[in-house]
Structure 1
């Protein structure tokens, strides 16, 4: 059995639901924060994701980062060598979507390389207030070479999918490196 550890940086503007997504995923859906307290700095939690059809697992160290520019210098201290990243926006807030490019570039600069990433449109339960279509976000994600997911932390809809995708991508990269090492040693 192999247990890998991956540093997952979760970024996006303030109030897009990063903390809610993280807490719902971490608690297996048993905890949705009903009162809102803005994240100051970074909140860390860990969750193990088992890789299907193996005995292996990836421990995701989830770094839920503050979205306010006021905390950006402090937050960047925790972004050293991320393994995977999640960029979150609010489907009812077009400005949060426009900021995704800034967040992707910041994380890629911290990673020093391209890393597995996902774009997550949160708050799909607010369909009547939605200001951004899925096609626009999907096209943007494709241009950036990342996967797009939509979810609702409040309704616990599709919350696990982006996290499981990132864990599986990290594991896939590990397997690729093992194969390269095997061919070099032959």
Structure 2
């Protein structure tokens, strides 16, 4: 939905079985700048773990996504966060946790407060979305753009102090 500018929600789709790459330009709110997100979407499968190690050599920001109707997807976020942090030791890695499928409230198995508490404890911002209902699906991407922009500005400012 995000990549189609909110114009296309697939009612029938196939789950990610490998690794998908999407590149999307996002405006940084309250600035005249934009950033390009290189979004690697991976299935939660160990089979792709080695491939992801190569793709994730130096991430700038992190977006963990869980399905609020699937407890295991939330539990897996800890594993993925540890994996990324192991590769970025000594580097602050801002990011977010996104709970999806909030429109399926009857099947919810991940408590919003629990997910938010976990995210905050990991220094991640927390969002919940429903792409189907077009609820809050852009906010996580704008947050990531802002986080990346802030990192970029800090590096530019640091460079200017050296000159």
TM-score of the superposed pair, with normalisation by structure 1: 0.80
Aligned to 2:162: 184
2:95/2:147 contact within 8 Å kept? no
Please state whether the residue corresponding to 1:178 is helix, strand or coil.
Answer: helix
Aligned to 1:117: 95
Per the TM alignment, residue 142 of structure 1 is displaced from its structure 2 partner at its CA by: 1.0
User: Which residues of structure 2 form unaligned runs of 5+?
Assistant: none
1:58-88 Cα deviation digits (max 9, x unpaired): 0111111122223222333222211111111
Whether 1:97 aligns to 2:74 is: yes
| Root-mean-square deviation (Å) | 1.6
User: Which residues of structure 1 form unaligned runs of 5+?
Assistant: 1-23
1:48/1:60 contact within 8 Å kept? yes
Please state whether the residue corresponding to 1:99 is helix, strand or coil.
Answer: helix
Whether 1:139 aligns to 2:89 is: no
Deviating more after overlay: 67-76 vs 132-141: 67-76
Aligned to 2:9: 32
Deviating more after overlay: 68-77 vs 152-161: 68-77
